Each structure stands twice: as C-alpha cells, then as structure tokens.
Amino acid sequence: MKKIITILSLILLTQRIFPQEPEEKKIETLIDEILKKIENYYSSEEIIPEQQIQKQKEMQRQLERIKKQLELLQKQKEFMDAEKFQEEIQKIQKEAIEIQKKSEELLEILKEKQLFPISPTFRFKGDTEIGENDFIEGDVVVEDGDLIVYGRINGNILVENGDVIIKNGAEVTGNIYTTNGEIKISEKAKFTGQRYENFSPLAEIDRITSYNRKKHRTEIRYRQFYEEQPGVDNFYFEFERVSGFKIGVMFPRKYTSIIYRPISMYGYGGYATKLHRWIFSFGIDRALIDVSESLSKSFLLIFGGRVFSTIGTKDDWLISPNANTISALIWNNDYRDYFKHEGFDIYFDIYIQNDFLPDVQNFKINYSNANYGSETTKYIRYFKWNEKRPFRDNPAVYEGNLKSLSLSYRTGKFKLVEGFKKSGFGMFINFERELGKFNYNILIVEFRARLNLSNYDNFGLRFRVASSDKVLPKQKSFELGGFGTLYAFPYKSFEGNKMMLANIEYILKNPVDIFDFVNFFIFFDAGYVQTAEGKITSGFKIKNINEIKSDFGFGFGTESMKTRIYFAWRTDAKMPPIIVVRLSNPF
C-alpha cells in the first residue's frame, strides 16, 4: 500500500512543477521516472483487486504513448516552426495533466475503500491456528480455511473463504479482512484496527469461471469427510493383484450437489481386465433437512442408498487407493486384501455444527445387505524386475450373506493438517451389529492428532482400539503387522477379534540448507491382538509384556511428508531393519 501511495503522490506532486517547466527534456525525464515507479509497483507483492490493476495498466499505456509522441516530436523539432513545436508540447503536457487528475481520483478511491494495505509475509492454506506463545511480526494471509488466534499478530490479516476468530488473551495490531467469512473477537482479546467482513474488492468473483462463493463455502465445511478416490477427476483407474487394471468413469460424492440439487448421484463403473467382468457402485443422496443459520451453525440430514457389484476391501485405513496402485505396479507390494462384494446400503447421514461443537460432527446410521465371495491372486508380477518378489496370495473369506446395522461418528480436521504450522485432531467411532447367523457386535474407536510444536517440528499420534464379542469372519477380523501398523513385522502377521494399536512419530524439518526439501522423523509403534469371545469390553487384560509387539526407527520424508522411507527395527529380536517406502500419509 505504501508503494501505491508513493507512486500516486509522486504523480500528484509533479502536477505543481510540470506546468512551470514545459521543456521536452523535463517531460521526458518525468515520464521515465513515473514509468519506472509503475514498473516497480507491478513487481511488488501487493495484494490489490483486479479493478485497480487495470487502472494502473491503463495509466502505464497512456504514459508510454506520450513518451513515443515526445520522442517523435524531438526528431522533428529542427524542421518545425517554433510556435508549432510549442503547441504540440502543450498538447502532450495537457494529456499528462489528465493522467495526473485520474491518479488523484484513484488515490481518493484508495482512501475511501481502504484497500488491503499489506505485503503478506506469512501465507497459510486451510485451517490455521496461531498458538498462545506464538508472535508474528508481519501480515498474515489464510486461503480456504479459518484462522484462530490465541497469540499475537503485529500486522494485518486477510482470510479468503474462512472465518477469523480472535480468542481471549490474543492481540492483533492491524486490520482484519475476510472475503467470504465472519470476524469473531472475544471480549478479552486486544484488537486495534478495523474490521472488513466480506471485503468486496478482494472478493470479486471471476466471471469466467462462474465461481459460486456459497457453494465453495459448503465444500470447505465438509471437505474433511471426503475420501480419496482411485483415479483422477472423473477417470476411474486402479490396479491390484486380483482384478488387474480397473478402468472406467466415476462421479465422486459432492456435498454441494446434495444440498443444491433435489437428488444427487455418485459412484463409479468400469471394467476389471483380469477378472473379465464389469464392476460398479452407484449411490443416490437426497437432503431432507438443510439449515444453515450462519457459517458456524448448520444442520444437514441426508437420506441415501447405494447398490454395488464390485471388488471390495477392508484395508482402506491402511493406504490410499492411488498410493496402493503405484506400490503394486512398481514394487509388487499390494497392501490390500480383496473379496467379491455385491449388495446394497441404505443410510441416514447427519452433519451438525454449532457454538458448542465448532467442528462439524457426522453421525451415520447404515443398513447393509451384502454377499461376499473369495477371489484369488491373478498376478505373480506385472513388471519383469519383480520376478523374485511375487504378489502375496489373496486370502479366502467367508462366502455368503451378511446383514448388519451400524452407527458411526466422525469429527475433526486431522486430514486437512499439512506442514509444521498447524495442529489438528480426528476421531472415528463405529459400532456394527450383524443381523444374521453370526450375530456379532463390533466396536472400533480411533483417535488421531497432529500437534504443532514450532514452525520446524511437530508430533503425531494415532490410537486405535477394535473389539468384537464373537470370532469374526475373515473380511471383518482385525490384523496387525507390517505396512501401516507395525512396520518391522511381517505383513498382517497377527489376527484376532481384539486389537489395540498406537503409532507415534516426531517430525523435524531439515535444519540445514542442503536438501532442504527432505525432512527427518523418528517413530514408535506398539500393538496388541487377541482372540477371545465374551463381552465386547473384555479380552484386553495383558498378562505378559511380550504380548505387546512393538518397533521403532527413523526415516526421511518430503516436505509434505506424504512420501516417506522407513527404517524399522523390532524390539523383541535382533534383526536387520525393514525398509518401507510409503506414498501417502501414515494415518
């Protein structure tokens, strides 16, 4: 902003000097100086609306045109009558004065509209939290997420598509701007500045893309509940050792479609090359109740159902589908087990957010009726370099019908946390009752957290407990070992109907400039598996410490930590480390 005012003030100042010295040399020097200032202005990192940029560009074009006229006039000076030459100089002078008048008007507009006067030094994407002990000297910009401030910010704040929440004890010295959100300042917070909610110059909608702020806000509210789909956009693509390549089209579930359309459809359809069969999953959603009183208060009730005839897996929690496709193709490491899955689901999906529950809470009641069948491994390898390391055999499952009723709960924005400057948590609870001959009950509870310790390190953990009162069929049992659980042990080497798992990691940002895109981490894993019938809460009494299997190690990861290499050692035996490459978040 200071650069803008300096440029425009310079132009206004020359208005007083300019008429007194109309010589062509003075005009040329002045124009060069103004053009240089404008060029410097465009190379800056000022955040300004498109309308102002266009006005500045128009002024620049006019000044460049005047300069060319002046250069031409200088070349013709010796061939022109002195009176005629002076007349042309006065015309150029008049045009320059008109540009100066426009500059004066623009300066007044800047003062009236209070354009965002910062050069941001701290940029964040997604939900961001400034801790109680944090102090930021500079301006803050947050894109597509809320900003919660417990500490101090000496600068201005801009939040695009999100809320600004200043907590008790926090201090902000500067103005606060939101382009599509609310500003909430607690009574005991210290704030010296102005508020600008839904700041129109910066919230200007791109007419080319027909951007809809309300729909975009909906996507932000529910984005933590989206699951990664195999493929890209509407192209369905997956490779695994049972089906081979699965290729087709898909239409991911979108909350904007559910809310703003009478009926929303989602799903996929494709062909499995090794099974030589078509697969599909097709669902329909309808919003029965949608109440959005404000950005922080909402209630959404969805009724839906889906039918499917596909190849299913219970291992989505271990690895994302796209990462598993790459791993299976390149290294012959297919970390999922598969079964034939045909049937239908009927469900109620509920989403609640209010002042007492600031994060969106999801409750889901689901009735499932599905037929299961075993599938065998069809591939030994795909690429020749994996001849000595064939695919694992795909285990057989219970073949028959399973009917169940389940209730699940999800909350937290853990999946949205990236980098070192944010904290977040996530919780998942699922209770399932089988309504057929097995008559089992299953309870799964998982808690995940990422704690920001500083801008250079953080702490992550996952704690997962699963239990059943009956011995479970293979497609429902709990397994530990290897990738995603206990990295130093053979894959899925422990199985039962009682399980506990803890994964802990500490990540340190590279402290040196060499290979600064590589981060370092250490980790510790511990797990327990047992088979015992009885109460769902029983079976967790540990008689011997050796019943708990654990490992530890270190590794390296990319800046996002989504791509990692692990070096893992068992704690119960002297063995060489197990090396594991991972292409997705560990939990």
**Ranges 305-319, 373-387, 491-505: which has the least confidence:** 373-387
Are 311 and 324 in contact by the 8 Å Cβ rule? The answer is: no
Question: With 80 as the cut, is the pLDDT of residue 189 above it?
Answer: yes
Question: With 70 as the cut, is the pLDDT of residue 550 above it?
Answer: yes
CA distance 79 to 482: 90
Phi, psi for residue 219 in degrees, rounded to 5: -60, -40
Question: Which H, E and C letters describe 286-298, residue by residue?
Answer: EEEEEEEEECCEE
Q: If you compute the radius of gyration of the chain from its CA atoms, what whole number of angstroms results?
A: 32
Of 475, 465, 473, nearest to 444 by C-alpha is 465
CA distance 272 to 58: 58
Place 584 in a pLDDT band, splitting at 50, 70 and 90: confident
Question: With 70 as the cut, is the pLDDT of residue 404 above it?
Answer: yes
> DSSP letter string over 210-239?
T--HHHHHHHHHHGGG--PPSEETTEEEEE
Q: How far is CA 412 from CA 255, 425, 493, 566, in A?
A: 17, 5, 31, 27
Task: Express each pLDDT in 466-519 by its tens digit.
Answer: 999 999 999 999 999 999 999 999 999 999 999 999 999 999 988 777 777 789
Question: With 50 as the cut, is the pLDDT of residue 326 above it?
Answer: yes
**Average pLDDT of the residues in 412-421:** 69
**Average pLDDT of the residues in 384-395:** 77
Task: Express each pLDDT in 240-250 by its tens digit.
Answer: 999 999 999 99
Q: List the helix and strand counts (H, then E) for the chain.
A: 7, 32
**Average pLDDT of the residues in 446-450:** 94
Q: Which residues contact 378 (CB under 8 A, 6 or more apart)?
A: 241, 242, 243, 244, 274, 275
CA distance 330 to 394: 19
Question: With 80 as the cut, is the pLDDT of residue 431 above it?
Answer: yes
**Average pLDDT of the residues in 154-164:** 87
Question: With 70 as the cut, is the pLDDT of residue 46 above it?
Answer: no
- What sign results for the dihedral spanned by CA atoms 326, 327, 329, 334? negative
Task: Express each pLDDT in 105-130 by its tens digit.
Answer: 655 555 444 444 444 567 887 778 88
CA-angle at 502, arms to 498 and 506, nearest 5°:
170
pLDDT, position 463: 97
**Average pLDDT of the residues in 304-325:** 95
Q: Which has more pLDDT, 271 or 12?
A: 271
What fold characterizes domain 413-587?
Porin (2.40.160)
pLDDT, position 16: 43
Question: With 80 as the cut, is the pLDDT of residue 65 above it?
Answer: no
Question: With 50 as the cut, is the pLDDT of residue 48 above it?
Answer: no
**Burial zone of 413 (CB within 10 Å; 0-12 exposed, 13-18 middle, 19+ buried):** buried
Q: Enumerate the domain spans of the chain.
A: 2-113, 122-196, 212-408, 413-587
**Average pLDDT of the residues in 216-226:** 75
CA distance 319 to 338: 14
Are 448 and 429 in contact by the 8 Å Cβ rule? The answer is: no
Question: With 60 as the cut, is the pLDDT of residue 6 above it?
Answer: no
